[in-house]
Amino acid sequence: MNASSLPHGLAPRSDIPRIPPTVRASKRPLVDVGVCAGPPPASLSPRGRIRGQPDLGAHATSRQDMPMRATRQILVLALDGCQSLDILGPIEVFDHASIEVPGAYRVELIAPTDDRTVTMSSGVRLGVAPLPEPPPRHDTLVIAGGAGAREGVTDAALLDWIARASRRARRTVSICTGAYLLAAAGLLENRRATTHWEYCDALATTYANVQVEADPVFIRDGDVWTSAGITAGIDLTLALIEDDLGPNVALAVARQLVVFLKRPGGQSQFSSALSAQQAARPELRELQAWIAGHLDEDLSVSTLADRAIMSERSFARAFKREVGQTPAAYVEALRIEHARALLETGAPSLNAVAQSAGFASAEVLRRAFHRHIGIPPADYRERFRQTAST
């Protein structure tokens, strides 16, 4: 198997130094997950630190060539209503990196709370430490997203703490809608940033001095990093690991987590199909599923109306009302997504891509692609070819 036949972000094992898997023996839990109350459990330090495992994996045969590095302190800020993956996804990445390179990171989960717990949007509670005052010098400040982050923009004391803590950190990171807190604290002024695709427009409208970009999975602008929605926090944290410890460690962590080191495509590949509502009528829901599997066929309004056994006028009105898009816009968005998938895998012919996606010609594909994505399809394909070759 050669490198070009593997998914983007993965490399043949022969291309990198082997880092043998480590046997984990009675690993302590990262956080107290579940219904909890009162002080942190005994498995955590008095301040709730979530430590790396310096005693695991430090065998001479597997880590003797790893230089010792200073432990990097990571502060992860969570609020009530936070997304669990915004917190636990990055924590797991840092934890696995601390197994590959013992003592690389020490993670502390903190929150502005008196009872040492936060309740996530799932209803599960986590044990946390209070906000340290004053904020200590630390390596990375991570702000988790979720409903709590969006609501926290009105908390002047919290925003002041975030601004002061950011000045004491080497870098500042937001996951998902945690970008709202960074923007409200003035940390994204005249910077490029991203957030969950569903909230990009609102973030740009609310904070006009932030250069919001909807497509990237994450953005680094100087010492401030922002990620797209939820699982994109894992992608961003892998990039932090690569920046700190090098690509081989980041790739080893990605393999352990069974994720791409660099996932193909941006987040807008998810927005068109996922943001479209599912129709209430069973016949329209079935039609939506049928459209996705027949993009290279005639999908005109008359054809779709016939299949739904409705008049064209009634069908167009019902589809727009229940799906939130006109039939033509819905079909074109799905065709663009299909074309993107083909281009990302290096399809050699734009004519073949156009035919497979249901566009009348390569020129029609080019115009539609540029309208949706902002670049010509040939340039988009070339970007992935260059990425795959690095």
Q: Could you count the other beta carbons within 10 Å of the beta carbon of residue 194?
A: 30
Structure tokens belonging to residue 319:
């589809």
Separation CA 2–CA 11 (nearest Å): 9
Contact predicate 369/380, CB 8 Å: yes
Residues 242-266: b if buried by 16+ CB within 10 A, e if exposed: bebbebbbbbbbbbbeebbbbbbbb
Under DSSP, is residue 144 helix (H, G, I), strand (E, B) or coil?
A: coil
Known catalytic membership, residue 36:
no
DSSP letters, 30-62, are SS-BSS--SSPPTTS-TT-EEE--TTSS--HHH
Contact predicate 73/139, CB 8 Å: yes
Separation CA 263–CA 269 (nearest Å): 12
Contact predicate 8/264, CB 8 Å: yes
Q: Return the bridge partners of 106, or none.
A: 51, 73
Contact predicate 213/194, CB 8 Å: yes
The active-site residue out of 36, 82, 176, 200 is: 176
Q: What residues contact 69, with CB distance under 8 A and at least 6 apart?
A: 101, 103, 104, 245
> How far is the CA of 198 from the CAs of 201, 228, 250, 320, in angstroms?
7, 10, 29, 19
Structure tokens belonging to residue 23:
């046997």
Contact predicate 79/146, CB 8 Å: yes
Nearest to 215 by CA among 276, 275, 265: 265
Counts of helices then strands in the chain (DSSP H, E)? 16, 12
Which residues belong to the active site? 176
